[in-house]
Amino acid sequence: MPEDPINHIDFDDLNRKAVSQPLVTHIYTADPSAHVFNGKIYIYPSHDVESHTPFDDLGSHFAMKDYRVISMDSPEGEALDNGIALHVKDVPWADKQMWAPDAAEKNGTYYLFFPAKTHDGIFRIGVATSSSPTGPFTPQPEAIKGSFSIDPAVFMDEDGKYYMYFGGIWGGQLQRWKTGTFKSEGEGPLVHLPEEHEPALCAKIAQLTDDLLEFAETPKDVIILDEHSQPLLSGDTDRRFFEASWLHKHKGNYYFSYSTGDTHFICYAIGDNPYGPFKYSGRILNPVIGWTSHHSICEFNNKWYLFYHDSSLSKGVTHLRSIKVTELIHEENGQITTIEPYVN
């Protein structure tokens, strides 16, 4: 998608065809991480702003500075903006680009996990805490030791263990960590990507310590297998991982879902444990208006919902997005029904 508004699209017609409308319209919001705490839905999005930064493959134009928490009594109810929960100026180690966050709760404390670029330009992942799901959140003085890249997503399993999934290629810098240490851009921002015939870069997983403030182990690869039980290849851009990890559990199966980035699908893979491997199983969401696609999945009153975003409110401006929600259906065979974001 181009950076400027998409002039040939009738956005009034598009919004009539959309399966859902923006949850809030007074600000731009994206990358919604939704959770149910105390019987209420809390959404932790990134807060899009106009920075007038030129478009590039590193996502420099996504120059978000703070986080807000959106709350809802139900998926059909009014969405309330609870104000600023955390600002980059309050995070000692962070310089800019407060990208997609996530949240968790343990023993009455709420945790906000977030990526940001350090003062030397490397994405790290931090954590902040609060006694309220809406914040304000107090950040730890340093990023999580051993953290890198973007898009943290924290999953609590039924045994009480917490796991963080994270990573994103291109602007998310995951390709720069291919050898285990950070590599500079070299000849270009994408120079460290695998060749098309090589296994694709993977999201990462690490169990968290009991206090949820650090990794309890060295991060491991989240491997996605094809129909032949082989890792997806870098050239398989319609299926390989790009960014936006999420994990949910349904009827004993672990569903790892993610964005394919430049091909604009939300896909999923199924495994039998939090670490995988996961077998590629299909698409959850077909492309939306706007370059990025990022989502979360949660259950509310025995129904499942997909939270996602598009750029319809901004008339196609890719870095000014709006969060949405629609019902998600698990079929009897364990597959997820593919959602068309706009219908005739």
pLDDT tens digits for range 191-210: 899 999 999 999 999 999 99
**Is the pLDDT reported for residue 232 higher than 60?**
yes
- Asked if residue 253 is part of any domain, the answer here is yes
Active site residue 211: no
**Is the pLDDT reported for residue 3 higher than 60?**
no
- Asked if residue 32 is part of any domain, the answer here is yes
Instruction: Give the per-residue pLDDT at 92.
Output: 97
**Is the pLDDT reported for residue 131 higher than 70?**
yes
- Asked if residue 35 is part of any domain, the answer here is yes
Which parts of 266-340 are beta strand (E)?
A: 266-271, 278-285, 296-300, 303-310, 322-328
Instruction: Give the per-residue pLDDT at 187.
Output: 66
Q: From CA 306, how far away is CA 324, in angstroms rounded?
A: 8
- Asked if residue 125 is part of any domain, the answer here is yes
Query: Can you give the CATH number for the domain in which 105 is found?
Result: 2.115.10.20
pTM for this one? Answer: 0.96
- Asked if residue 41 is part of any domain, the answer here is yes
Instruction: Give the per-residue pLDDT at 6.
Output: 56
**Is the pLDDT reported for residue 67 higher than 70?**
yes
- Asked if residue 340 is part of any domain, the answer here is no
Q: Which of 48, 102, 151, 243 is catalytic?
A: 243
- Asked if residue 335 is part of any domain, the answer here is no
Q: From CA 81, how far away is CA 205, in angstroms rounded?
A: 31
**Is the pLDDT reported for residue 5 higher than 70?**
no
Active site residue 12: no
Number of structural domains, the chain? Answer: 1
Q: Which residue, chain included where needed, has tokens 């969401």?
A: 285
Which amino acid type is present at position 204?
A: K
- Asked if residue 135 is part of any domain, the answer here is yes
Instruction: Give the per-residue pLDDT at 57.
Output: 79
When the pLDDT of each residue in the chain is averaged and rounded to a whole number, the result is 95
**Is the pLDDT reported for residue 104 higher than 60?**
yes
Q: What is the mean pLDDT of residues 208-235?
A: 98
Q: Which of 31, 48, 102, 151 is catalytic?
A: 31
Distance between start and end Cα atoms, the chain: 21
Query: Which of 29-33, 116-120, 143-147, 191-195 has the weakest average pLDDT?
Result: 191-195
341 DSSP assignment: S
Given a contact cutoff of 8 angstroms between Cβ atoms, the answer to whether 204 and 196 are in contact is no
> Could you list the residue range(s) of the whole structural domain that residue 68 is in?
11-328
The SS3 assignment for 56 reads coil
Instruction: Give the per-residue pLDDT at 2.
Output: 40
